[in-house]
Amino acid sequence: MARPIYEIASDIRRAWGTKVSPYAKPYLDAMASLDKITDKYVYDSASSIVAYFLSNASGFRGDDARALKKELKALL
pLDDT in tens, 36-63: 999 999 999 999 999 999 999 999 999 9
> How distant, in Å, are the alpha carbons of 17, 21, 23, 71 from that of 74?
23, 22, 22, 5
List the alpha helices (DSSP H) in 1-76. Answer: 5-16, 25-31, 46-56, 63-75
Instruction: State the residue range of the domain holding 12.
Output: 5-75
Does residue 1 register a pLDDT over 80?
Answer: no
Task: Look at the chain and report how many structural domains it folds into.
Answer: 1
For 8-27, the pLDDT digits (tens) are: 999 999 999 888 999 999 99
pLDDT the model gives residue 2: 86
Q: Is the pTM of this model over 0.85?
A: yes
Say what the pLDDT of residue 11 is. Answer: 97
In a 13 Å sphere around the CA of 1, the CA atoms on its Cβ side amount to 4
**Alpha carbon distance 62, 76 (integer Å):** 21
